[in-house]
Amino acid sequence: MRTTTGRTGRAGRAGRAGRTARLVAAGVLGAVLVGTSAPVAMAAGAAGASGGGAVAVAAPGAATGANPVSPAFAAIQGELGAVVDAGEATWDLARVVDRGRTLWQGTAGVAELDDRSAVDPDGRFRIGSLTKMFTATVVLQLVGEGRVRLDDPVSAYLPGVVPGGERITVRQLLDHTSGLFSYTDDQRFVPRTAEGVEAWAATGRWRTWTAEEIVADAVAHPPYFAPGASWHYSNTNYLLAGMIIQKSTGRTWNQEVERRIIRPLGLRQTSMPVSSPLITGPHAHLYTQLPGGPVDTTLINPSAGGAAGAGISSTADLARFHAALFGGRLLRPAELAAMKATVDTGVPGYRYGLGVGSVDLGCGVVWGHSGSIHRNIAYVLGTEDGRRQAVVAAGQYGYRDPDDVFAGLEKAASCAVAGSGAGTGS
């Protein structure tokens, strides 16, 4: 459920299923975020800093004095610490919510390597491709208003922008069956060499990109397949979706997400920046390993992510958004049904709808997305009715495939939501 470099499949996890699945939903700036160069030795003091801990809140109706920390929550905390102790992340955190109430939250690692400050469990982080859930929701709201039609061709809204755009529908953009080349497969946007990563850390991360120039570069590449013929995660699809929002409303996708989702839901820790490199409020730092040692690269210009991955949020806000979306507060029944009409991704156990995916990691089906941007990894997973959520975020430090690194954490979070051991009721 995530996507990091545009490789086929990825958004969940069931052995190989989760492997390709997760890489698929985090996509923006994937290589730099999740690592693409050879492993570099851990900086002194980063490993073994699991620290942190868990805070449990008794489930509604729990007996006074009863221990509310279920095996499911303990499993998540164990995975949080294991990833940090292995030197693959400098920090991570998680929250489990039931019917709007936080049942449990935990952290591991340190917020900053220099002073080893504690991780704030309520802190903010970049959400990468979780942004797609917001973008798709706005497009579907416009569908409900009769301003966009899912089976209209892209050329009806963006004439001349996409070669063959008359054969690609809006629906195919949102469910990744367009066949369009993903710009994050291009090293201009995602460096995959040590030299490229160094150049990005020094100057490239400050560059401002427009969706139009990125799309123009992407569509100059041959498509992966004819529209509708297969499935391939492509971040280009969602830059185009953001452009359609602007064409249909006269306002940018960022403004429409703010107006239609963030403000109505009171998501005070969520923002959709254009080019500001800042993360306001409490947040843990991110580091890129270079030959000379780790460099703090928390600050980046997120414009290359755009409607595909520029967002910032918190575990509490993401849980609230998921609950509102799947609980029917943001979309009418017809549009919510369209969002959940999934296609085969070719990854066992993982299907993709319109900006959301469903995945079965062996303990029940959950819905949501995953994301990654510049080494910030995030997941939101929840029940189809929006009653329960698990949200996870991490600052990756090592250079192993994030699908291997975070497999156990993703599964533990999924099972805490979908399984019977979370103490959340049924």
Taking residue 273's Cβ as centre, other Cβ atoms within 10 Å add up to 18
How far from 174 is each of 23, 38, 340, 379, CA to CA, in Å? 17, 34, 11, 19
- At 48 the three-state DSSP class reads coil
Q: Is 37 a catalytic residue?
A: no
Rg (Cα) of the chain, in Å, rounded? 20
d(CA 11, CA 342): 13
DSSP label at residue 311: -
The one-letter amino acid at 279:
I
Give how far Cα 350 sits from Cα of 8, 21, 45, 319, 353, Å. Answer: 12, 7, 38, 21, 10
Other CB atoms within 10 A of residue 302 CB: 29
SS3 per-residue string spanning 34-83 = HCCCCCCCCCCCCCCCCCCEEEECCCCCCCCCCCCCCHHHHHHHHHHHHH
Task: Name the token pair of 284.
Answer: 């843990």
The one-letter amino acid code at 327 reads: G
Q: Phi, psi at residue 125, to the nearest 5°? A: -160, 160
Q: Which residue out of 70, 129, 313, 370 is catalytically annotated? A: 129
- CB of 73 closer than 8 Å to CB of 416: yes
Catalytic residue list: 129
